Chain A
Amino acid sequence: MILTGLLLGTVLGFVFQRGRFCVTGAFRDLFTLRSTRWLTAFMVIVAVQSIGVFVLDALGVINLTSGDFPWLGAVLGGFIFGFAIVLAGGCATGTYYRAGEGLVGSWLALIFYIVGAATFRFGPLATSTDAVRSIALPEDSIYQALGVNPWILVTLLVAGVGFVVARHLRRERKVRRASLPATKTGIAHVLFERPWHPFISAAIIGVIATAAWPLSWATGRESGLGITGPSANIGVFLATGDLALVDWGVMLVLGLLIGSFIAAAGSGEFKIRVPDARTSVRSIFGGILMGWGAAWAGGCTIGNAMVNTATFGFQGWISLLFMIIGTGVATRLFITNHRRDGAAARPVLTSAGK
C-alpha cells in the first residue's frame, strides 16, 4: 500500500507549512541570530523518533540493521548539502513545502534538486558517488561500535534535549510576543491560523516520522522518512517510465506538496511568488548542489540528520555536523553580506505641520 505514503506525506507537508518548520533556518539561525530555538525543535523530532523507532524495533515491527560507515561521503556530502540549502533557501523538505506555498524559486530549486539527485545517484556521476562512498569504516551503528545498549543512548539524547527544551521554555516565559489578530474560531483557528509552537510541531513531526517506519516497511521499503532517494526516483521515472521506481517514498514527497498546498490555501498563504534574478540563479545552483551533496552523504537533512541520527548511525551525526558547518560558511558568504537596493527604511511622508 504505497498510498499510505501519500497520506503520511500530506499530513507532514501540512504540519511543516503550518509550523513554519525550516531545517535550513534552524541551522542558519545559529550563525545569524546565535539562536538555538529552532535547532532545539529539530532535536525534539530526533529524540521523539528515537524513542519510537527503538520501541518498534523491540516489538519486532521493524528490524534495525546497520552497514558500514562511508565517512568521506558523510563529511563532503554533508558540507556540500549544508552549503546548498542556504542558496536554495530551504532544505529538501523545505523546498517541497515552499513549492506548495507557491514560491517559484522553490519550484526551480526542486526541479534542479531532482536533476542533481538523479545525476549523482543513477546518472553519469553515480560513479563519483560510488567512489566516495566506498571509503568507509566497517561499523555505522554508534551503539554497536561502543558495545552498549541502544537505550542508554536514547536516554542520554532524551535527557539532553529535554534539558535544553526546558531552558528555552523558561526564557520564553519572560518575553511577550505579538501575534496576528484572530479572524477564525475553533478548529479552523487552530489548524489554519494560530501559530504553532516549534516544540509542538516538532513532537508531531517526531510521531509522523516514527509512523513512517512501519508504513514504509509494509511496502518493502525498509526505512523511515527519506526525501533524496524518492526525488532521484522521480527524475529517473520521468525519463524512463519505469513504474518500479514509484514507491512509498515517491508518494511521500508528492504528499508533501499536496499537504503544504492545502495548509497554505486554507490559511490564505498561497500566492505565486516569482523571485528576482539573483534568487532564481541561487535556487538553481542550490538545487543542483543539494542533489549532489545528499547523494554523496547518503541522505539530506531528513534521511541523515533527522532519521539516521534517531537510529544512532555515525553517518547521520557526522553529516549533521558537516551540514551545519556548510550552512555556516554559506551564511557568511550570502546572508551576512547581503546587500540590496531599496533595503533601507524610507520615512513615511506626513502632511506638513505635523
Chain B
Amino acid sequence: MAKHVLETVGQVCPFPLVEAKRAIAEIPVGDELVIDFDCTQATDSLPQWAAENGYPVTEFVKRGAAEWSITVQRA
C-alpha cells in the first residue's frame, strides 16, 4: 500500500475535486491519495465525494490558515 500526493494549493474550487477524481482513478486499489488544498469549499466537497463513493478517509486535518489536507483511500 503506497501513498500518493496531489498538491492543489492555489487552485480554486471546484478544481481540487476535479483533479482528485482523476488522480484517484490512476492509483491502485488500496493505495492512499493525500490531497492538499486551500479552497474553503473543498472542506465540504471532498469529504462528501469520498463518502458518496465509499472511499475511506484515513486522515483529515487543517494544516494552517486556510490550508487543509485530506487522505482518501481508493476502495
Q: Which residue of A lies closest to B6 (CB)?
A: A345
Interchain CB contact under 8 A, B40 and A269? yes
- Chain A residues near B51: list those with CB within 8 A: 175-178
- Chain B residues near A33: list those with CB within 8 A: 49
Interchain CB contact under 8 A, B41 and A20? yes
- Chain B, interface SS category: mixed
- Chain A residues near B67: list those with CB within 8 A: 271
Task: State A198–B48 Cα separation when bound (angstroms).
Answer: 12
Interchain CB contact under 8 A, A340 and B19? yes
Given known A32-B18, A177-B48, A268-B65, contact A348–B60 (CB-CB < 8 A): no
Given known A268-B66, A271-B66, contact A276–B10 (CB-CB < 8 A): yes
Task: State A181–B51 Cα separation when bound (angstroms).
Answer: 17
Interchain CB contact under 8 A, B13 and A25? yes
Interchain CB contact under 8 A, A279 and B47? no
Task: State A105–B65 Cα separation when bound (angstroms).
Answer: 18
Given known A269-B65, A345-B23, contact A32–B14 (CB-CB < 8 A): yes
Q: Which residue of A lies closest to B3 (CB)?
A: A348
Interchain CB contact under 8 A, B4 and A346? yes
State which size class the interface on B falls in: 35 or more
- Chain B residues near A147: list those with CB within 8 A: none
Task: State A195–B41 Cα separation when bound (angstroms).
Answer: 11
Contact of B75 with A by CB under 8 A: no
Contact of A170 with B by CB under 8 A: no
Interchain CB contact under 8 A, B3 and A273? no
Interchain CB contact under 8 A, B15 and A340? yes
Interface positions, chain A 87-108, Cβ under 8 Å from B, are 89, 98, 101-103, 105
Q: Which residue of B lies closest to A94 (CB)?
A: B41
Q: How far is the CB of A286 from chain B (nearest CB, A)?
A: 11
- Chain A residues near B43: list those with CB within 8 A: 20, 180, 195
- Chain A residues near B47: list those with CB within 8 A: 177-179
Interchain CB contact under 8 A, B15 and A273? no
Interchain CB contact under 8 A, A348 and B4? yes
Contact of A133 with B by CB under 8 A: no
Q: Which A residues contact B (CB, under 8 angstroms)?
A: 17, 20, 22, 25, 28-29, 32-33, 37, 89, 98, 101-103, 105, 175-181, 195, 198, 264, 268-271, 273-276, 279, 335, 338, 340, 342-348, 350
A sample of 23 inter-chain contacts (CB < 8 A) reads: A20-B43, A28-B14, A32-B18, A105-B12, A175-B54, A176-B51, A177-B50, A178-B51, A180-B61, A195-B43, A195-B44, A269-B40, A270-B65, A271-B38, A271-B67, A276-B10, A338-B19, A343-B8, A343-B22, A344-B22, A344-B26, A345-B33, A348-B4
- Other A-B pairs, 8, CB within 8 Å; known A271-B65, A274-B10: A89-B12, A175-B52, A178-B51, A264-B66, A275-B10, A338-B15, A345-B24, A348-B2
